[in-house]
Amino acid sequence: MYAKWISEELLCTAVPYEELKEVKISEYDLIIFGSRIHAGKVDGFRKFKRQLEGNTTKLIVFATGATPAKAKDVIDKIWKSSFSKEELSEIPHFYMQTGLNYERMRAGDRLIMKALAKVLRNKKEKDSEEKGCEQAIKNSYDISSREFITPLIDYIGNNKVCQ
């Protein structure tokens, strides 16, 4: 959803990751890579970086996840686990909250979530983070909102990245 909103706002092409091979990256001034967060990391980012090798095209990253946007410490940890120190300072990166969708989830992921729910349910003494997590993963929900793309759009506007 966020990729669609960003491409509408910037009037740029949105390409699904599977079709990246058909794109000549060097022809673009800027690439915005967007992915979900999976087990504390930006899913597919390392693989994507390997495909970028040798290119000097400017890169921006956005990641979607179930973590509340106000949980800055958790989100910082995610960026630190996904990026090298150099990437952390060089690549502009943005977090956009989404949610969880059990209906669209791959079978393997659904099993992971079930296992996590069971661990949390059976744990006797839960801290507030664990209690929050237990509630948050009970049902599907989606709080994606177009306004969450604003920091990324503003960054591009203010830094004239595409000139």
Ligand X SMILES: Cc1cc2nc3c(=O)[nH]c(=O)nc-3n(C[C@H](O)[C@H](O)[C@H](O)COP(=O)(O)O)c2cc1C
Report which residue's Cβ sits closest to ligand X: 65
Question: From the list 101, 135, 140, 159, which residue makes contact with ligand X (rule: CB under 6 A)?
Answer: 101
Contact criterion met (CB below 8 Å) for 34 and 63: yes
The size of the interface with ligand X (CB under 6 A), counted in residues, is 16
Contact criterion met (CB below 8 Å) for 11 and 48: no
Part in contact with ligand X (CB under 6 A); list of ranges 11-19, 54-62, 107-115, 145-153: 107-115
CB of 65 to ligand X, least distance (A): 3
Position 82 contacts ligand X (CB under 6 A)? no
CB of 138 to ligand X, least distance (A): 14
Part in contact with ligand X (CB under 6 A); list of ranges 6-14, 33-41, 81-89, 145-153: 33-41
Contact criterion met (CB below 8 Å) for 99 and 140: yes
HSE-up of 134 (CA within 13 Å, CB side)? 14
Q: Which two tokens mark 38?
A: 């999976």
Question: What is the distance between the alpha carbons of residues 24 and 13, in angstroms, rounded to a whole number?
Answer: 13
Position 30 contacts ligand X (CB under 6 A)? no
Question: From the list 113, 117, 136, 153, which residue makes contact with ligand X (rule: CB under 6 A)?
Answer: 113
* Nearest to ligand X of 16, 54 (CB atom): 16
Helices in the chain by DSSP H: which ranges?
2-10, 45-52, 72-82, 85-90, 107-122, 128-136, 150-159
Phi, psi of 144 (to 5 degrees): -55, 140
Question: From the list 105, 117, 120, 133, which residue makes contact with ligand X (rule: CB under 6 A)?
Answer: 105
Q: Which residues bind ligand X (CB under 6 A)?
A: 36-40, 64-67, 98, 100-101, 105, 109, 112-113
